[in-house]
Chains A and B, each alone.
Chain A
Amino acid sequence: MSDTAERTSASVGGPPGGPVGGAPRGPLRRAAVLFMQQREATVFLVVVLLIVYFGFISPLGRATFFTKLDLINVSQIAGPIIIIAIGEVFLLICGEIDLSVGFTYTFAPFLMHYLIDFYGVPGIPAILISLAMGLAVGWVNGFLTVTVGLPSFVTTLGTGFALQGIMLITSHAEQSAIPVQVQGIGHWIGTFAWAEFGWAVFFAFVFHLVLRRTRWGLHTIAVGGNQLGAQEAGVNAARIKYGNFMLTATLGAFVGIQVAFQTSVIDPSSGGYTPMFYSVAAAVIGGTAMLGGSGTVIGAFLGSIMLAVLTDGFNVIGVSANPLPLIFGAAILLAMVANVQFARLRERGRAL
């Protein structure tokens, strides 16, 4: 976000006909224009409106939405979506997608459980190996997509099913308890009420910087924006894609372990396509282009919060969960339309 702001302020005062022209009069007007020039402004407004609606306008929501319990609830819904969405943002920007991340999510806590209970691996190494499994899955996704040349949509569809199969075979589709050895560290990873959101904010902060301020982020955008061109300039596109597949799968494994701790059970029905689609939706709502080349972590963060507020808000005001998918669908489409329209407005704002 700050990047755009910087660019804007830096180019003010350029010669007429430049991309940024006359500064609007008045600090308020100027602030408003600056705000609207941010890609994430739309989502931010929607989130604020939703919170206002559920927290202040709806009579039922007024009583419950701002209670501690409910805020924790929203944060726990949002946290996992945010963390996975961060990975998807990096992948979508460089022109790929990971549909398998939800199954890495499901399998990771099982692997941790097998390692500890069947192979006597101590708690923390078991968690680390489970995260490394995420790295391995990401590498396989990268290999099949980049080196073999399958579309990532197909690759990750396949690896997702395969992972689900491995998980079901090894677990006999039965739940498992959290091993005692990791319950201590589990508190900080996922059991503690604000753990999900805390980690999500931490990851969002770190990866926002990675995307906006490091070579890795720059090359990710370059590969998604013009892969051939980036390669001609010497960027190793394969390395970028492998890395982002590995990032996404590892974040997925982390979230799987986290949610297992939070729910105090390792569940074969947790994860799957739902969190993956939520996170892709969050990324898209937050302004990430499906065709690659652009997207922001902040946008995905806000998109995740928007989905979480919607989910929780409808709960709070007592509407049945059935219309929720319909609302999500509408929200995604509206967000896309708004993004396209606002992009045009922003262009015009710059041209003025």
Chain B
Amino acid sequence: MTAVTPDGQAAPAAPTEDVLRVEHISKRFGAVTALRDINLHLRQGEVLALLGDNGAGKSTLLKILCGFQQPDGGRIVLNGQEVTMKSVDHARELGIDVVYQDLALVNQLSVYHNMFLKRERVRWPFLANKEMRRIAREHLDELGVNIPSVDVDVAKLSGGQRQAIAVARAVFTDAKVLLLDEPLAAMGAKEAAMILDLVRDLKQRGDVAVIIIAHNYGQVLEISDRINLLQHGEITFDKASRDTSVTELNDIVIEEYRRALAERHKSA
């Protein structure tokens, strides 16, 4: 497990270094163009923050990347090979896993059952609960996720703990690309810190590249290597996180808002 240190440069790297490349992806829903022409790349072990206002197309892009929806045009290149993801399961097989905002956890099941859902260890005909419990515990410890017991029902956990379980589950198998949909939304400072630590740990392990969709610039600037800004279905901004600031990002978004407002006034 050699940690790949991203160089932090926004300039496109050699294609072989990219785990994932998205080229000219577009998506329309009837008359609405959700994604116009998306180009982005993700390097080995990199954390890419995808920012943008509501309705900018972040979620659509994510759904395409995880195989939930098919793009109208463009191509996705994974580890140098063009792929067409037929389903979420297929994407997972290819090594792209997603943590939805709804987390896809079952409240009525214990932490370890949730972590092994659909990937259960079985000693036929019964579930190998002891083994799953042990592995889940080890895995969570390794990731530094702090929960009192893997035996409790997920319903009893806090929002941050639930998010952590969902993330831990996604990287459980060998996900190469992890997509996190607003993992920090509706989360207290302490819980957000827990998730940020978790992402940082993943980064340190170096074998998973992460795309985080987020609203809060400050938080993602801290853990991401690079920032992409999504506006009106296009990536309009691509910079290393250390070369930008919350102020700059805010200015871009606000300026765009003003321009849109001015244009509306003009046409009115």
Contacts and interface: CB of A to CB of B under 8 A. Distances in A.
Interface of A: 6-7, 10-11, 14-15, 17-20, 209, 213-215, 218-219, 221-222, 224-226, 228-230, 232-235, 293-294
Contacts of A214: 122, 125-127
A228 B88 CA distance: 13
Contacts of B119: 234
Contacts of B89: 234
Contact of B106 (A15, A215, A221): A221
Nearest to B115: A233
Contact of A226 (B105, B110, B118, B151): B105
Given A218-B109, A222-B106, A234-B118, A19 B126 contact: no
15 contacts: A10-B133, A11-B149, A11-B151, A11-B152, A17-B148, A19-B149, A213-B126, A218-B113, A226-B107, A229-B106, A230-B106, A230-B118, A232-B88, A232-B102, A234-B89
Nearest to A229: B104
B217 interface: no
A216 B166 CA distance: 22
Would you list the 9 A-B pairs with minimal beta carbon distance, nearest first? Answer: A18-B148, A229-B104, A232-B104, A234-B118, A225-B108, A11-B149, A225-B106, A14-B148, A213-B126
Nearest to A292: B108
Dominant SS among interface residues on chain B? loop
Contacts of A235: 117-118
Given A7-B151, A230-B106, 10 more contacts: A18-B149, A213-B129, A218-B120, A222-B109, A224-B108, A230-B104, A230-B117, A233-B169, A234-B88, A293-B106
Interface of B: 88-89, 92, 100, 102-110, 113, 117-120, 122, 125-127, 129, 133, 148-149, 151-152, 156, 169
A107 B118 CA distance: 37
Contacts of B109: 218, 221-222, 225
A350 to B, nearest CB: 9
A224 B108 CA distance: 9
Nearest to A234: B118
B69 to A, nearest CB: 14
A17 B158 CA distance: 12
A302 B120 CA distance: 30
A10 B88 CA distance: 35
Contacts of A293: 106-108
Contacts of B127: 213-215, 218
A219 B104 CA distance: 13
Contacts of B88: 232, 234
Contacts of B106: 221-222, 225-226, 229-230, 293
A219 B122 CA distance: 13
B100 to A, nearest CB: 6
B122 to A, nearest CB: 6
A214 B120 CA distance: 9
Given A19-B148, A214-B125, A233 B108 contact: no
